[in-house]
Chains A and B, each alone.
Chain A
Amino acid sequence: MLVEAFVLPKADLDGFAAKLKAGYELIGPVAKGPEFVFAPIDSAADLRLDYDTTILPPHKKYLAPPKETLFGFSGPAAKTGEPAPAGKQVLFGVHACDINGMLSLDKVFLGTYPDPYYKARRENTVIVGLNCTEPCANGFCSSFNTGPGMDTGFDLSLTDLGDKYLVCVGSDAGKALTAGLAPATDADRIAKSKALRSAQEKIKRHIDTDNLGEFLHQNVENPVWSDLKERCLACGSCTNVCPTCFCFAVKDQVDLTLAAGERPRDWDSCQYLEFSRVAADHVFRPDRAARIKQRLYHKLTYFAQQFDGSPGCVGCGRCATYCVAAIDPVQVVADLRDNPGAESAVKLYTPPAKKVTPETNPWEPLPAKILGIKQQNYDNKTYTFAFTDPAVQEKYTYDNGVFNEISIFGIGEVPISISSCADVKGSFDHTIRAVGNVTNALDKLQVGDIVGIRGPYGFGWPVEEMKGKNVLVVVGGVGLAPLLGTIKHIANRRDEYGALEILVGARSPKELLFTDEYEELRKIPNSRLLLTVDNTAGLEWGHNIGVVTTLFDKMSSKPDNTIMITCGPDIMMRFAVRGLLGRGWSPEQIYVSLERRMSCGIKKCGNCQIGPIFVCQDGPVFKLADIQGLPEAAL
């Protein structure tokens, strides 16, 4: 069907802008020194529709602003509820690249766990697009079919036809703004097509997108990356100016009463060392080359893998324009194509299709009371919680192996796995080591104190798939916490599962968790519990000495009809997985629980990514076969 179209003489632009201003805040491109930015404007005279590009992408600046308060709090209670209503605004003159960037951000913010703050702004924003008849110098939008013209994502689109604009209608809201405009003629439509074809031909920069995802997965070790490491300044400008970069950091602010404050989010960057930092100063992605790779892979393939094929790069060229070291994705891909690594069979990642749409604000922690505190060992305690609202607690269910976000208002949130068994109703447990700011604050709390909790998040252990099979549980240190619930789940349904064998390893006997439950575990019919420590720390020890994989020689479990589940430090799981694969186990029967900085838990903040994986929502429990061979998933 022919798109409805009108003409707007350039002489009438001021009147058109004045009409928009009557109902909306009018935001458009204005000059800032030699460059351009989107800003509120008073009249069409301020508009610079001849702009090439802007420093920040307009949709990101006005829909997911650099700093945004999620909610305020006072004492242990959050003040949340619905976000404040967003004002009505028009983004006027948005280029095709940024409109496509916005459509990609929609997938992030309006997908699973829709973000109410973004949603409110998005619903109150009218997009007036501007087709690029004069392409910018650094853009390569045609490579991704995200420019120079736009097909979708706008309420109205403008095309410069000399002394007038062709105005195409993209939505009912857009249609309502065309009252009084003369309909376009066939000649006008043909002029638009010609202008855009000519613009397309003027674009000189291209990325070879042929099988780009597979090609990049084959070139993880290409020497191009170590060369880029020498050039990259790790300044993060590329991510700030990127129309599809969405990552942010959340850090509580308090006033001088120290009790009241707010929880804001600020744009973050995967180029920073601290992006993947967790408590005890552990950094998951310390190598600068790995960080550059993460950004470019995320732009050029991971984003599409994560969000239904939406482009992670829309070819706006901003990252190349603003890079002090002139790192340019067009050149990087060309360099890789010139010296490709060996071709090999690779698979891209397909995240589990699961969309959660909670009835309440997903950022809102609900008050939960500490019902009990039990010292586990010298540095771990198990806390028993229940939501203070009995109706909330009644409805609260979880799969064994998943996690909650625990808030201490004024300090922050931490993701902690649930260590109780889902069969227990009325309360749930978290076993926690005091190691960072939040867990240290938690350590000072007493029975009866209130914290904020939201969750549960992610996928747990495959208790359905394990039915009728033998189960081997391999535990490293505190890794027993997310596994204990599943062990009890099996014990509670003993006839539904085959033999159960549990291998527990720790650095020393002092590090072992849940030791007072070992007697109960040993009583589970058709089960075995094997213990080992790296060293005895001078304590009496009647069990094995050595890392947990040394128990593989003593265990009864065989690969046939058995599922192995494991949780522990990355290095321990790596050796455990390799040990089993070497003994004839298949990646289809091995499940691992991964840990990264799961700062938000709802696939928004981006901190927990391992290659194309979001640990928080795609995991934390993964089947090895699903992630084996993916970049960064070195198991």
Chain B
Amino acid sequence: MESNLKPISSEPEEEILRILIADDNDSDRLILQTIVRKEGHTVYTACDGQEAIDAFKKLSPDLILLDALMPNVDGFQAAREIRELAGENLVPIIFLTSLKDAASLADCLDAGGHDFLSKPYNRIILKAKIQAFARMRRLHETVQAQRDEIVKHNDHLVHEQQLAKVVFDNIAHSGCVDAPNIKYLLSPMAVFNGDLVLAARKPSGGMYVFLGDFTGHGLPAAIGAMPVSEIFYGMANKGFSLQDILQEINTKLKRILPVGVFCCACLVDFSFRNETAEFWLGGLPDVFVYRDGSAIEHFASQHLPLGVLAGDKFSTETRLIPMARDDRFYMWSDGILEEVNEKEEMFGEDGVLKVFDRNSDPRLFFGELIAAVAEYTNHAEQDDDHTIVEAIMVAEEELGEYFSDQDSRSLIGGPPDWSLSYRLRPLTLKEFNPLPLLTHLLMEVPGLRPHSGKIYTILAELYSNALEHGVLGLESDLKSTPAGFAEYYLQRTSRLDGLAEGAVIFHLDHKPIENGGRLTIQVEDTGPGFDHGEKDDGHKTAGYCGRGIPLISSMCESVRYLGNGNQVEVVFAWSFDS
């Protein structure tokens, strides 16, 4: 934010003011008017209090010289009204008086005068007073302008933060945090929240729920939440594993956060079908599981927070626990457990267990807990962001309605039904590895992501067979001795370098089936093929070769050779359950 606050201006030697003189005595007024005018100021005059008030309304002078005793409305009354009219602007009022007793002089100031000047006037004192009040007036104006500036900036800042928060909330709290089996409380102590609750449904069914607590609170803490939620939703929707997501978030945070800023977190993978919860917990308080309305278990953090350890030291080891129907999983940021009562004692896990002891209906536990914390702190201002999440193990059908609009099982959000042919000619075969590209393309199919390892292996084995045996004409028998093994790969390199014709063609075909899909991969080469009658019966695994096809067979529904053996077709059937 740029500051437009101006420094208090250095005062010009003699400021020209517009001065109102109110005196019922014509000669006094005339004398004063003459003196003041000689100093270079502009003078307005009034003959009584009422005229002074009217003149003030009309002319808003910079300074007023006001006779105390006047007919009609006297000086005291006029001073009060003028101060009222001036509002927060400073209009110095100097009383003109022939009164000498202390009480009368004090009355002048009580009525709202800033000073008094005794008759007869001393020209030097009058001049000095006018200049002194001119300075005071300028000071007042400066302070006022600065205050207005600060108010404006603050309004602007709050407005900006509120706008940013809308964007932030849209990013951070999208997903399915409002699913019927999730309850959460996010209570930030500033506009922005350093705590983060995310939930996403997995393409394979099940649900990821994430709670993060960044060091600190407010805007600096909230900024880290943006990449976390982007990664979380991006990867969760594509079906990445819990481990992959954690690894990615950790790597990102390690890279972007300054040392000393990190994110305590819990990521849970709820499988409604298997009735399990797999979770990773780093740096947050123990998570609790309220079982069967009767028992409570807790599990301690095993890991450092996210964003602390570099990639190779970071562990994604998780714990897998059974969760029966209606079991409740609780996680929270430390803010809520560290709230203190009047004796500075923390609510803590004991507080949670006390609420549990009193609880008779698990459905009310969440609300009772929040009420208990509020009561414990006697509803004092919270010291940190408060976040608590309850996730209930339900039957998947119970969520059906909530997800019906965005049901990922209908394969919305990616291409489920398509085919393609991809012909790789010599220049490409020499220079380019097509496997990452093809794998990437296949991973766009919703739900296929968890199978990426297998699919890569299948593509890689089929491709090297087609290229090496088909196009390059290398014999696998060569690989039966150590020397031959080396020779094989030497020949592979030299033959590929000299390759002038030939091609490998991939035909990929994906069709959705109920609860999954069927991927057919055909790989064809321009080689002479081989007699595959024998291969179909019993694959030869001897020496240092021949392990590719058995590897594929173990992963696929079927593997068969077509044509004259220069074509192989593999069917990979997958379901959301596996």
Question: Do A and B interact?
Answer: no
Residues of A within 8 A of B (CB): none
Binding site for A on B (CB under 8 A): none
